[in-house]
Structure 1
């Protein structure tokens, strides 16, 4: 006897709340149930196996790509385009970044984030050169005797770097985990 692929559930008083929950996320009630069930089933599965099966060597240069077609409603397409513009990406690159973030559970940075990280790393490189110069000159002891003004400046730049990187990573994880 064939098994039905349809599930009927009596929601009772939960139905209006469920309808609102799905509407806020821009999905049908059926899609909401499917996503909820998929999430519950994934919770039981070992997530590392999923990532290992994917073998994600995404950004290899010269590796051929395959084309996939997806159909979106006009509202969905506009939402994708808005988010892509905010991220400094094209719609296609934004969708690819979304897929990679789901598979890899790693940050997928947009143009603005990459610029902030580049600037931050440039500051760290300058600090590295500065500390190297201090070590070569043997003036580290002098800094301690003179009140450590330069060390305070170094500490401030490093702290600025740490806050910038933490903010980018936090924003990135928030963006891709929605």
Structure 2
């Protein structure tokens, strides 16, 4: 018989704030706590910033669920566990993401991919601010053919952003279409 690992925490007056925190991020109460613990363990292991994957919507909060039972061999379950861990997911979440990817043909991004896309979007926002400054200062002329370094730097930054997003999406499609 499998033993479920659980942690019970008395939140007291913090419970309503915790509920709101999870709802704002589209997380269940348990998933929010699991992500906090996982982030703390990653930080303790020296893997850098203990960032919480707050933008990940694993599931729609409040939607009804149905439980099914899967019969897997020990080896299959072990491989699923390894793949799930590599994606920053639990085995159950990985299986759900696999099924949803095949049913919806939409990306099911893991923690690493969400972090990469978030970083990429921050860079794109920075590019937008940079363009705004250039336009306001009058230093940029989009039609100029004089080898304007600003335009080439912007083009390079946008190309880098596109490469990051394309690589993340390609990796996601490769993972779920096997």
Q: TM-score range by the shorter chain?
A: 0.5 to 0.7
Write the distance in 1 (CA, Å) between the matches of 2:147 and 2:154: 13
- Counterpart position of 2:63: 63
TM-score (normalizing by structure 1): 0.62
Task: Report the Cα offset of residue 139 of structure 1.
Answer: 2.1
1:134 aligns with 2:149: no
Q: In 2, are the aligned partners of 1:97 and 1:108 still within 8 Å (CA)?
A: yes
Q: CA RMSD in A?
A: 2.1
Listed as ranges, the gaps of 5+ residues in structure 2 are 1-57
Q: In 1, are the aligned partners of 2:101 and 2:108 still within 8 Å (CA)?
A: yes
Task: Report the Cα offset of residue 80 of structure 1.
Answer: 0.4
Q: In 2, are the aligned partners of 1:143 and 1:150 still within 8 Å (CA)?
A: no
Deviates more, 1:142-151 or 1:101-110: 142-151
Task: Report the Cα offset of residue 136 of structure 1.
Answer: 2.0
Task: Report the Cα offset of residue 144 of structure 1.
Answer: 4.2
- Counterpart position of 2:39: none
Q: In 2, are the aligned partners of 1:109 and 1:172 still within 8 Å (CA)?
A: yes
* Secondary structure of 2:141's aligned partner: helix
Task: Report the Cα offset of residue 146 of structure 1.
Answer: 6.5
Task: Report the Cα offset of residue 59 of structure 1.
Answer: 3.5
| 1:65/1:129 CA distance change after superposition, 3 Å | same
* Secondary structure of 1:123's aligned partner: helix
- Counterpart position of 2:166: 166
Task: Report the Cα offset of residue 173 of structure 1.
Answer: 0.8
Query: Higher helix share goes to which structure?
Result: 1
Task: Report the Cα offset of residue 65 of structure 1.
Answer: 2.0
Q: In 2, are the aligned partners of 1:143 and 1:151 still within 8 Å (CA)?
A: no
- Counterpart position of 2:95: 95
* Secondary structure of 1:141's aligned partner: coil
1:110 aligns with 2:110: yes
Listed as ranges, the gaps of 5+ residues in structure 1 are 1-57
Task: Report the Cα offset of residue 107 of structure 1.
Answer: 1.4
**Greater gyration radius:** 1
How many residues align structurally?
121
Write the distance in 2 (CA, Å) between the matches of 1:145 and 1:155: 14
Could you list the per-position Cα deviations for residues 138-178 of structure 1 after superposition, in whole angstroms to 9, with x for gaps in the alignment? 22139947731121111111111111111111111111011
Write the distance in 2 (CA, Å) between the matches of 1:77 and 1:112: 22
